[in-house]
Structure 1
């Protein structure tokens, strides 16, 4: 009989020529375990997904409870289901009053697609403005917004009427005009290597969108659900978007996403044409149950208040001449090295020592650190010791 590794390589589509090929038998908390007792401390949370850790007991309990009732019933928006309705209400309670209408989808990319569609439909305009080094997903619409030409040139032609401007540059805001349907920005640029815009810039962006009647879409697919120390990263900017997208950390390990706005904007999808955005599995009750439990865990277990001190602990411990800079907003962190070759050797060595890290798509000389918010200070210390050992073994001065 073929092993899981052989089946994976023969029959499961690959995304690179060098997959990690870690075999994971089970996971719990901040750890993943291999079939032969290997233990890996997960410093990337499935790329910002497992914000409350792997298999949090309250998330598992919520999933099990929903499994005893029903699974998929009907395409999105036709049948009243208690769990999605309660999740929508709970999300609204974390947000300003103007963000009170939630459309559930299956992924972050679909959240971006829906947000851009509703922005075009409501505004009657066609131009979308995104940013250099932005990452919003891999479907063709989301890919059109991405800011790295090397990542998308093989798939052109993409969406027309998409403009890119420089991140955090005041002068470029003048390119937002009365033709612009929406400006879409990651509140913290993720795949660019954790780039946090100035607060003054964010406020000027908000003011410019308001001035010309363009909608402001903030992408919090990576930064939402407590990752940065507030439930939503935009809370730290002093602004409110017109449309918000989320996914990744909102599901507690289950697939789910959403785009959120005010009713006036969202209702424009109901007519001309009706069913302006439809999805079969969006708002799946099991995913919504997991998401609601995740939201409650973050708030009830006080995880937000712990983020600054845990981020500070990483920065205190990760000190080495090979580390050029550490950028972060909360536990969304980038540790910069001289080159990709150096970083890749460190990542591979750290895996052998039992710590899983990663790099960024558009910043391949920086190590991604985005652990579960539940990580303890002792686990942070353990992870940092092992990463520093990997650095020592791979970098010579």
Structure 2
């Protein structure tokens, strides 16, 4: 199958890991050679309940027996989507109450940007340097990393960039600004948290000039930071909230949520302001509903902070310069890209899955399932320390 993989499936990098997967259960992924790999990545934060969680699997099977796709988004009343959006509203602060379901996080970003322009009548968008919001044209336009964009220009006009956590840049937000879009925690840049009430100050500046604040929770959302949504840690409520990844429980999804007054603008002038065929797909919405119920009705969210402390206690080594992030959204920082590459690749050889971050070459992603056990954390961290010892000795 490997030769067919390279021949027929378009690749994203010259050197994919190319592990041939057999099956996955809980915190483990298995290859066709029957090797087991402890998963510290969770599909890049997309599998919060681990792999093949029985509640998700059973819910999907039940929905498959009823119906799959029946109509484009928003025309028919389909119970999984209605119950999912209702549960989101129940768990969000006012005025975040109405949700548009999409196929992916980047599509949700596109919808959020369109909504901000429609609501304000303005065109200027403010984003952060080293931000990542997806890879479609609008999302790429607000990506703060020129190396990844230059081959695809021209992109959206009237996009300006500020430095995350630099308060003096907030004066760039003016009465010409339609929206400010930020990740609640910068992901690709190295899991950088907002400092000194930064998000609250951005919120206040947006209020002053009539701009909308979009927070991208595609990575930190759905319980990963010790709160259901990352912004709850930072004294800031956005006008538009974007979620994805973990919300689907391993199925592809995105969503953007705002007040009823804002979201209703997409219905008219023009009609069909944002449309999708498969957004709100009943099977995916059912999976997301089961995921959200399990996370909100269990102790998984508060347990993420206890698990974070265990990781921090165990991940102490001369080659580890810092552990960034919050909850189970953590990044090991080393002195060099070479050490990072060795750690990721050698750990896989020893049965532990780690991964890179998009822009910060010295970072190693640790975003395991929220369901990971204490014993699994200890086992995985022991592999990391073992590998670092090998690197340190060479």
TM tier, shorter chain?
over 0.9
CA contact (8 A) 2:130 2:189 kept: yes
Q: Which residue of 2 aligns with 1:75?
A: 72
Q: Which residue of 2 aligns with 1:255?
A: 252
Given candidates 227, 230, 233, the residue that maps to 1:233 is 230
1:112-127 counterparts in 2 under 5 A? 112-127=109-124
Alignment RMSD, CA only?
A: 0.8
Query: Deviations along 1:188-217, whole A, 9 cap, x unmatched?
Result: 001111000114211111100001000000
Give, in angstroms, the shift of residue 395 of structure 1: 2.7
Give, in angstroms, the shift of residue 301 of structure 1: 2.1
Q: Which residue of 2 aligns with 1:319?
A: 316
Q: Which residue of 1 aligns with 2:211?
A: 214
CA contact (8 A) 2:127 2:142 kept: yes
User: 4+ residue runs of structure 1 moved beyond 4 angstroms?
Assistant: none
Q: Which residue of 1 aligns with 2:344?
A: 347
How many residue pairs match? The answer is: 394
Secondary structure of 1:364's partner?
A: coil
CA contact (8 A) 1:199 1:238 kept: no
Give, in angstroms, the shift of residue 239 of structure 1: 1.4
Query: Deviations along 1:84-132, whole A, 9 cap, x unmatched?
Result: 0000000001101200000000000000000000010011000000001
* Structure 2 residue 4 is matched with structure 1 residue 7: yes
Given candidates 30, 35, 41, the residue that maps to 2:38 is 41
Whole-angstrom distance in 2 between the partners of 1:367 and 1:147: 20
1:178-197 counterparts in 2 under 5 A? 178-197=175-194
Whole-angstrom distance in 1 between the partners of 2:391 and 2:22: 29
CA contact (8 A) 1:243 1:260 kept: yes
Whole-angstrom distance in 1 between the partners of 2:268 and 2:293: 35
1:1-397 counterparts in 2 under 5 A? 4-396=1-393
Whole-angstrom distance in 2 between the partners of 1:161 and 1:396: 51
Whole-angstrom distance in 1 between the partners of 2:148 and 2:312: 31
Query: Deviations along 1:17-58, whole A, 9 cap, x unmatched?
Result: 110011111001110011121001110110010011111111
TM-score by length of 1: 0.98
Secondary structure of 2:339's partner?
A: helix
Give, in angstroms, the shift of residue 285 of structure 1: 0.4
CA contact (8 A) 1:199 1:237 kept: no
Query: Deviations along 1:162-181, whole A, 9 cap, x unmatched?
Result: 00001101110000000000
CA contact (8 A) 2:111 2:274 kept: yes
TM-score by length of 2: 0.99
Give, in angstroms, the shift of residue 396 of structure 1: 3.2
* Structure 1: gaps of 5 or more residues: none
Whole-angstrom distance in 1 between the partners of 2:301 and 2:23: 27
CA contact (8 A) 1:342 1:395 kept: no
